[in-house]
Amino acid sequence: MRRIYDFHGGIYPAERKTLSNEGSIRKAAIPSQLVLPLAQHIGPTAAPAVAVGQEVRGGERLTDLSGLPLHAPTSGVIGAIEERPIPHASGMMAPCIVINCDKEDRWIELTPVEDFRRLSPDQLGRQLFEAGIAGLGGAGFPTARKLPGDSNDAIKTLIINGTECEPYITSDDALMRERADRIIAGVEILAHIARPKEILIGIEDNKPEAIAAFETALARREDMELVTFPTKYPSGGEKQLIEILTGKEVPSGGLPASIGILCQNVGTAAAVHDAIVLGRPLVSRVTTVTGESARNRGNFDVLLGTPMEDLLAQADYQPTVRQRLIMGGPMMGVTLADHRCPVIKTTNCLLVPGPGELPEPEPAQACIRCGLCAEACPARLLPQQLYWFARAQNHEQLEEHHLFDCIECGACSYVCPSHIPLVQYYRASKAAVREQKADNARADHARERFEARQERMAREAAEKEAKRAARKRAALAKAADQAADGDPIQAAIERAQARKAALAKTPGDEQAIQREKLARIETRLAKAREKLAADDGSDPAITSALEKAVATTESKLADLQTTIAGAGGTPARTDSDSETTSETENA
């Protein structure tokens, strides 16, 4: 016999589950229009993969895989992709895919897995993600994200949550009574993925029929253990159920996986079975419609996207003055302002109380510091202290006092004699803290971008300066080289002349050039001899220079005549040929 533990706090509100758990699950009619919000779960939102006017069939994927995908619950035509009211306490609108249903319910061909044991945990996790499986217990966390992968064997205990502690709600109870075998088949798949050492199925003792159904289904199984325990709110909280079944406490801010535990809802297990064994994506769920304003109360298997007013009409809804519509139970549910909001993956209950059934809370009075809220808190928090910090908007102290460990069960508000809506303060504070963190993150990101830009600009400026200095050094070095080689202008002229001469250098042209040069030298030699002949010898220096000029020119003439003769041109001249010319070159 497994030992059962207790958790701190808790309350015993009126259950009122008999309003809706008398009959079997009914299949809700296909509405004329389905409205599917793109965001129905925690995590990134997928983008539409269909266009307006496109025909779709049941099971067809409507979004890409950038987030948990959505699928068409039935056949029809995409009527719009636009913002519509969604089930949120703020009454906000959000992008939705609208399907105009043709009521023919035509489906694509499904691809079930023949033997899931042949697939690895990663492969099964991928299948569950693509089937859009999210936790159906309330939070809507993508199931595949909670599962360990191929290399992770840290899960010691798999807990299946069949507690459903919230008053009025009986959808899980009905599911367990009627579909225990399907749930167990889903648990087998989860166990194949997580490879736990033990599997525990926890059910509160206020569900005798569900317990009997599981006792029958598990009669010949030894790998799963059914554990029942006394009814107490909020036993269905993940951390509270873990403590009840194992005696272990999930550390503040931590996850159950940190202590080797994986917890999944019974509805999620059934959806896992449908996704793997049947190949059917998550397109419907069991939803309780209850409250004294609905005459035909019960549990409905309803398509996601069904407008709540359509579902309420099938439950013979009779609205009253100042009628309230609550999605969820009276403790943790949220009041909706628009009956056109659609059923989504986390819609486990629609509560429409009659007059006086759920009276409006009395006006809040001053806190008398009685401490009852701390005694009732299942998370061992100090609700009164959190209340003061919330009013002062002291976010730092709120986090230090573990605000985010609050599961918003409402036990503190339930017992507060001053009727202070404590949970509303905590919800608002959580939103404010998240927004402040988001603002800080955006500011940090902007600062990092600015600093990176400044660094890039400084780096580019330094690189430009280095290149400029390099060019300057190269120019100075070139100028120094040119100065060492002589007049750069004359050198350039000579190089140009050399290039010109090289281009014109052909055998015929060379001989002509040599003859022209020979004629010029002969002319200069004749002029030099005339000047020497005319010299009267009065200045010895002039006479010597003229003689030297004549001798130099005669030498050049002789060298050129020899060159021409060697090249086969005009024969070399004799010395007598130079007697008629003179030159004053270099005089």
Range of the domain at 421: 361-451
In contact, 241 and 138? CB cutoff 8 Å? no
For residues 404 and 389, the answer to whether their CB atoms sit within 8 Å is no
Q: Is 412 annotated among the ligand-binding residues?
A: yes
Collapsing DSSP states into helix, strand and coil, what is residue 398? helix
Q: Examine residue 402 and state whether it is found in any structural domain, yes or no.
A: yes
- Count up the domains in the chain and report the number: 1
Q: Which residues of 453-491 are buried (b: 16+ CB within 10 A; e: fewer)?
A: eeeeeeeeeeeeeeeeeeeeeeeeeeeeeeeeeeeeeee
Query: In 3-47, at which residue ranges do the beta strands (DSSP E only) sit?
Result: 26-27, 33-37
For residue 80, report the phi and psi dihedrals to the nearest 5 degrees.
Answer: -170, 155
CB atoms within 10 A of CB 322: 7
The reply to whether 377 sits in an annotated binding site is yes
Asked whether residue 371 is domain-assigned, the answer is yes
Dist. CA 304–CA 8, nearest whole Å? 37
| Cα–Cα distance, 110 to 130 (Å, whole number) | 13
Q: How many CA atoms lie within 13 A of 46 on its CB side?
A: 24
Residue 93 lies inside a defined structural domain of this protein: no
pTM tops 0.85: no
For residue 78, list its beta bridge partners: 99
Q: Is 165 annotated as a binding residue?
A: no
Q: What distance lies between CA 586 and its chain's CA centroid?
A: 90
Count, residues in the chain: 587
Mean pLDDT by 10 residues, the chain (587 residues): 91 95 94 94 89 97 94 97 91 93 96 94 94 87 83 83 95 96 96 94 96 94 94 95 95 89 95 97 97 95 97 93 90 92 95 88 90 95 95 93 93 95 92 90 93 95 94 82 63 76 64 82 89 83 86 89 73 44 41
Relative orientation angle of helices 171-178 and 208-217, to the nearest 10 degrees: 30
Cβ-based neighbours of 27, under 8 Å, separated by 6 or more: 300, 301
User: In the 8-state DSSP scheme, what is residue 571?
Assistant: P
- DSSP state letter for 347: -
- Does the annotation list 96 as a binding residue? no
pLDDT number for residue 201 = 97
Residue in the structure block whose two tokens are 């079975």? 273
Whether 293 maps to a domain, the answer reads no
CB atoms < 10 A from the CB of 412, how many? 31
- Ligand-binding site membership of 101 (annotated): no
Contact present, 379 and 407 (Cβ < 8 Å): yes
Place of tokens 């010299």: 535
Please report the beta strands in 133-242, taking only residues with DSSP state E, as ranges in sequence order.
157-161, 198-204, 225-229
- What is the C-alpha separation between 305 and 297, in angstroms, rounded? 20
Q: Has residue 445 been placed in a domain?
A: yes
Q: 454 phi and psi, to 5 degrees?
A: -60, -45
Report the distance separating Cα 244 and Cα 5, nearest Å: 4
Nearest to 182 by CA among 285, 277, 107, 58: 277
424 inside domain: yes
Half-sphere exposure of 93 (CA within 13 A, CB side): 8
pLDDT of the residue at 148: 81
User: 185: which residues sit within 8 A by CB, 6+ positions away?
Assistant: 273, 277
Q: What DSSP designation does 67 have?
A: S
Distance from first CA to last CA of the chain, Å, rounded?
A: 134
Q: Looking at the domain assignment, is residue 387 inside a domain?
A: yes
User: Does residue 130 fall inside a structural domain?
Assistant: no
**Dist CA 505 CA 499 (whole Å):** 10
Q: Are 209 and 219 in contact (CB under 8 A)?
A: no
Q: 362: which residues sit within 8 A by CB, 6+ positions away?
A: 419
Q: Is 349 known to sit in a ligand binding site? A: no
The residues facing 262 across adjacent strands are: 158
Radius of gyration of the chain from its Cα atoms, rounded to whole angstroms:
48
| pLDDT for res 584 | 40
